[in-house]
Amino acid sequence: MTTQATQAAAAPTKSRKKASQEPAPAAAAAAPVEQQASPQWVHFDGFACFGIERMRGAKILGLSEPSVFTPAKDPTYKWPIDNLRDLLHFYMAGGNAFCAMGHPGTGKTMGVQQFHASLNLPLLSMSANPRTQAYHLIGRLVPNKDGGVSWVDGPVLMAARLGMSVLIDEYNVIDPGEMTGLNLLLEGRPYLVPETGELVVPRHGFRVYATCNPKDDKGLVQGRHTQDNANDERFEFSWFGYLPQDIEVQLITEMIAPYQPSLPAHVLAEKFVSVANQVRKLYAGVTDDSGALDKTISTRVLRRWVSKAMSASTQGSLVESPMHYGLERAWSLSCSDEVRVAVHELVTQTFGGGDYKSSKDNLHTMQPAGA
């Protein structure tokens, strides 16, 4: 497949003001937009798109403006260079199906979304669940107002018609037998709709992205399937790990700095990241205590912890131990008691301060406000 997208998929954001106020499916809404002015294909500088110095001067094809289908750009996002390389090679080579694999919270979904945002490319997204079936992805007949039935595209077939990307989140929670129904579309081939006899030929720019958590013997991530080999081999794969320590410290430093803490922001950031990395090693089984923890602190959880802790640190005596308070609200109250206590001991060793006192240990609620 080529890297072009259709004009329908690439309608500029400013055209939203002209859209009807009547609710309409995405495919129907795209039709009138196609008749309006469309953004042009342009070459972006790699550094301008992704903020990576080694990509300065590289020319990458993208759209001049975002569309209603383009994800919002996150200016704080930090690119893992290996994953960006894989996404770029897939895109520039005209690949059909790409699978981002990795532990929970390693930025698989965000990586795909931010890649499209950086190049102003359109992307449809959906989250799968154990009850997702092929017709949820491809389409089905539904009753219409005339008493008959009409065909309605699912997100994958809709993306094929419009010539845009589609992201299926949590792909491997779906039953493997259901996914074989996507095999033709995963190769970019024409798809014959059995219910209507229509032949849908994917337009240029159609790609399928999927995210998967690994299925392992420890069962740390529930409900994952090993997909059918015929389905699997249609994908290109990229492993998403946690951010390198220096990049994650930079990210957390930028979060902490506005709070103007008594310690330098980068010193606090190093402590936060140190705790997170020790938990990750125990979770992933890369230490002698293999599998000692059944939950991990992802970058997503780490950012939430930092936000809660730094906010609590500005509340004076209202919060006795901001680091412990923040971690409980961000993550540890959902852990087993053994894991919760062990990780909070690690927090005490890293940040100092008094012993950890959990709100979970209180039989009754805390004192009412004003007491």
Element (H, E) at 179: helix 176-179
Identify the weakest region by mean pLDDT among 33-37, 47-51, 106-110, 282-286.
Answer: 33-37
Question: What are the boundaries of each domain within the chain?
Answer: 72-239, 245-360
pLDDT of residue 229: 81
Q: Which CATH architecture has domain 245-360?
A: Orthogonal Bundle (1.10)
Between the alpha carbon of residue 32 and those of residues 20, 110, 352, the distances in Å are 9, 30, 61
pLDDT in tens, 161-219: 999 999 999 999 999 989 899 999 999 999 999 999 999 999 999 999 999 988 765 54
The predicted model gives 44-51 an average pLDDT of 95
Q: Confirm whether 72-239 and 245-360 share one CATH topology.
A: no
Give the CA dihedral 281, 287, 290, 291, nearest 10 degrees: -10
pLDDT of residue 31: 45
Angle at 236 between CA 235 and CA 242, to 5 degrees: 120
pLDDT of residue 231: 87
- Residue 7 clears pLDDT 90, i.e. is over it: no
Cα–Cα dist 101/210, whole Å: 8
Overall pTM surpassing 0.85 (yes/no): no
The fold of the 72-239 domain, in CATH, is: Rossmann fold (3.40.50)
